[in-house]
């Protein structure tokens, strides 16, 4: 258990940030699932549109610190490759 006032404050802050970051990761996953769904259907236009919508969300996650830069880049590269292969 935290003893100092600062440690107690950090616990409160960490709880708030965990909720915010969890919501952010969930939102990004939803965007990625839309791309996956369009890829499964074989709809290239929908997949490309979903990918363009997912890209800024992923990069926002990087800037907010919920994803590592290379993780986001790897995910985007793999999805882009799959969308291009539909053509």
What is the CATH classification number for the domain harbouring 38? 1.20.58.110
Mean pLDDT confidence for 1-18? 93
pTM over 0.75: yes
pLDDT of residue 2: 83
- Give the burial class of 57: count Cβ atoms within 10 A of its Cβ; 0-12 exposed, 13-18 middle, 19 or more buried: middle
Q: Using CA atoms, how far apart are residues 9 and 80, in angstroms rounded to an integer?
A: 43
pLDDT of residue 70: 98
82 CB neighbour count, 10 Å cutoff: 14
Count how many domains the chain has: 1
pLDDT of residue 1: 77
- Record the tokens describing residue 45, joined without a space: 């236009």
**Which residues form the domain of 19?**
5-86
Q: Are 44 and 62 in contact (CB under 8 A)?
A: no
């Amino acid at each position: 258990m935290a003893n100092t006032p600062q440690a107690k404050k950090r616990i409160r802050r960490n709880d708030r940030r965990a909720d915010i970051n969890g919501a952010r990761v969930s939102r990004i996953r939803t965007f990625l699932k839309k791309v996956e769904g369009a890829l499964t259907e074989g709809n290239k236009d929908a997949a490309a549109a979903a990918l363009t919508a997912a890209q800024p969300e992923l990069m926002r996650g990087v800037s907010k610190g919920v994803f590592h830069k290379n993780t986001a880049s790897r995910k985007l590269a793999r999805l882009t490759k799959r969308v291009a292969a539909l053509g």
